[in-house]
Chains A and B, each alone.
Chain A
Amino acid sequence: MSRDKILAALRQNQPELAPLPASMPLQQIEILELQAKFKAVAEGIGSTVHLVDEFGAIQPMIAARFSAEKRILSTVKELVSAAVPEFQFDADPHSYADVDVAIFKPELGVAENSALWLTEAQMRIRVLPFITQHIVMVIPLSSLVPDMHTAYQKIAEADYGFGTFIAGPSKTADIEQSLVLGAHGPRSMTIFIYA
């Protein structure tokens, strides 16, 4: 059987056990500095970032920005309105093919690369953050962390079926290295950071 053959060959050929290194030290950075860094990096890779003083300011801004879109879904209860219906669960992922805008609240955001961590618990349907034409993320300022080491310390032993870091809209540079936003996934990403 290949399994046993592979394992036996490895045990035969592996070098002596090498120790794991100590973890990278965790950085402590002031929250406003994190916010500035996050915003700069996110805008550098094609996202739009809005800093708002309170959660209540987000809804009208979404309504204004996406007034022309047909199917808008919110997985965030507090952002449901007449124009933005609540997320309705349908196990068939294909039924989300016509979603124009999907709104999520990630668990954390990483300042060094502007990646936002979403798990199945928030996205509900795994394909949703990828299949939607535009993606909106709302995140409290307190959920920003400096770097990936701190991010994984927070994620630590968390259980999820699927989780993903998303940094910006879907993109490609495969044609002569020209950057084009909107390869297969969202064409735009709008991020609201609220205090």
Chain B
Amino acid sequence: MNTKTKDHPELSELFNQDEQRVNWHDETLWWIRQKRDKSAHGIPEWETLREKASQIKNNALSNLADYLVSFEERALANGIIVHWAADAAEHNQIVHGILQKHGISKMVKSKSMLTEECHLNEYLEKQGLEVIDSDLGERIVQLAKEPPSHIVLPCIHKKKEEIGDLFHQHLGVEAGTSDPQILTEAARQHLRETFLTRKAALTGVNFAIAETGEFVVCTNEGNADMGAHLADVHIACMGIEKIIPKRKHLGVFLRLLARSATGQPVTTYSSHFKRPREGQEMHIVLVDNGRTVQMGREDFRASLKCIRCGACMNTCPVYRRSGGHSYSYAISGPIGAILAPNLDREKYADLPFASTLCGSCSNVCPVKIDIHQQLYKWRQVIVQEGYAASSKKMSMKLMNYTLSSPGIYRTAGKAGRLIMKYAPFAVNNQFNPWYKQRDMPEVPKQSFGEWYKKNVKSE
């Protein structure tokens, strides 16, 4: 079916071997989802905010070329050097080129999912450069030689004892330490040394403003600022979809971002970079890497509105129980499963199927992306184009056939209920992937249709 070794079901199976860890992962993320709810409910105008954010993003996307040109013009006038990259390779070369020009071999980086998407660290390391990730969670997965498993909470899958072991090995922390306070302090000391000695810092970008040519970076730790303000060279990398029209629109997005992500009223730091500081060189790299193509796909265009809050992952029953690493793409969870097939349909054919289509993701999304509908649409495209696994092709066809004929639907439903009643072993077996890790539900005695006929129609 595809070229890579393991697909989502296989990788989730690995994750599912440790049942306690799965439960813990599930509960932790659900707790964050609840914090998000509480925070959102504290704002009476929440739904209006989501609607405004969605409309602002629609406007931004519909006029993106002009906004980018305007952003570039203002940024240049502000003294920022602007680069354009068609794809990941060009992005990596641009960053490398800037470092080479200054003879810099060590860089500190703050969290940026774009550089994960482009595999910048691996690329630079191959060229003999050293990159240290400075967000605590990213540093932890970096020491473990793993990619982040969540876009906002990169090491959400790790237990504190495992982090203690890593810090014992790499940072000289006493063996057996697992206290988060002590571990964080060790990382603080180690990274402070890094910040103070690096000549170049790379940061991501949360929002870039067409009107003013400034860009905004949001963190809780302050690592982006520590890096950028101490370095001689600051490189900021952003996907072209990060543009918003005006500075005042930040009012809408900053109110939504942290509340959706972690339930905080705002991130600790929302830093607005408009000009390099005296004597500093500031670069911005505008990256396409498939975004212009996605723009042309009407059904999937809205995925470019994403502000990377992670709410869709925290609420997703599949993500919570299968872990970020089961997605095999830098951005996991529901939104990652929409973005990945845009880049490589064959390699990521399995991801849109990693969803129950329950719609919870679409309900929490602060910019109102129709996530579950796009996942459903990708399935159809993938099946049509012949990339789906044959088991999925069969069941999709069957489902399509069944759903498109009321008669067959009724018969199939009845047959299903009969099987579950008299021959549950036909369903509860290892050949049914749904039976893994769960019991099949008790069957209702009547179908909804039968119930409706009896109780409502007869009135």
Interface string of A1-27 (1 = CB under 8 A from B): 111011101111111111111011000
B292 contacts the other chain (Cβ, under 8 Å)? Answer: yes
- Given A19-B59, A21-B56, check contact A93 B65 (CB 8 Å): no
Q: How far is the CA of A182 from the CA of B181 in the complex (A)?
A: 9
Q: How far is the CA of A169 from the CA of B154 in the complex (A)?
A: 21
Closest to B248 in A: A152
Interface string of B177-199 (1 = CB under 8 A from A): 00011011101100110011000
A77 contacts the other chain (Cβ, under 8 Å)? Answer: no
CB pair B86–A6 under 8 Å, yes or no, is yes
- Given A23-B248, A147-B251, A152-B250, check contact A184 B270 (CB 8 Å): no
B359 contacts the other chain (Cβ, under 8 Å)? Answer: no
CB pair A160–B52 under 8 Å, yes or no, is no
Q: Which residues of A contact B48 (CB under 8 A)?
A: 24
CB pair B226–A184 under 8 Å, yes or no, is yes
CB pair B254–A148 under 8 Å, yes or no, is yes
CB pair A174–B155 under 8 Å, yes or no, is yes
How extensive is the interface on chain A, given as a class? Answer: 35 or more
CB pair B180–A176 under 8 Å, yes or no, is yes
The total number of A-B Cβ pairs within 8 Å is 240
CB pair B272–A174 under 8 Å, yes or no, is no
Measured CB to CB, the residues of A under 8 A from B are 1-3, 5-7, 9-21, 23-24, 41, 45, 91, 93-94, 97, 110, 112-115, 120, 125-127, 130-131, 147-149, 151-153, 155-156, 159-178, 180, 182-186
- Given A115-B270, A126-B229, check contact A172 B221 (CB 8 Å): yes
CB pair B229–A155 under 8 Å, yes or no, is no
Q: Which residues of A contact B43 (CB under 8 A)?
A: 112
CB pair A165–B45 under 8 Å, yes or no, is no
Measured CB to CB, the residues of B under 8 A from A are 28, 31-32, 43, 45, 48-49, 51-52, 55-56, 58-59, 61-65, 68-69, 84-86, 90, 134-137, 140, 153-156, 158-160, 163, 180-181, 183-185, 187-188, 191-192, 195-196, 220-223, 225-226, 229-230, 240, 245, 247-248, 250-252, 254-255, 262, 264-279, 286, 288, 292-293, 295-296, 298, 301
The one of B220, B248, B271, B272 that contacts A171, using a Cβ cutoff of 8 Å: B220
> What are 23 contact pairs spanning A and B, CB under 8 A?
A15-B61, A18-B58, A19-B55, A20-B56, A45-B268, A113-B265, A148-B255, A149-B248, A156-B247, A164-B271, A165-B266, A167-B266, A170-B268, A171-B221, A174-B135, A174-B153, A175-B155, A176-B28, A176-B158, A176-B159, A184-B191, A184-B221, A186-B222
The one of B56, B221, B251, B288 that contacts A6, using a Cβ cutoff of 8 Å: B288
Looking at B155, B223, B270, which has the most chain A CB atoms within 10 Å of its CB?
B270
Q: Which residues of B contact A163 (CB under 8 A)?
A: 271-272, 274
CB pair B223–A20 under 8 Å, yes or no, is no
Closest to B91 in A: A2
Closest to B250 in A: A152
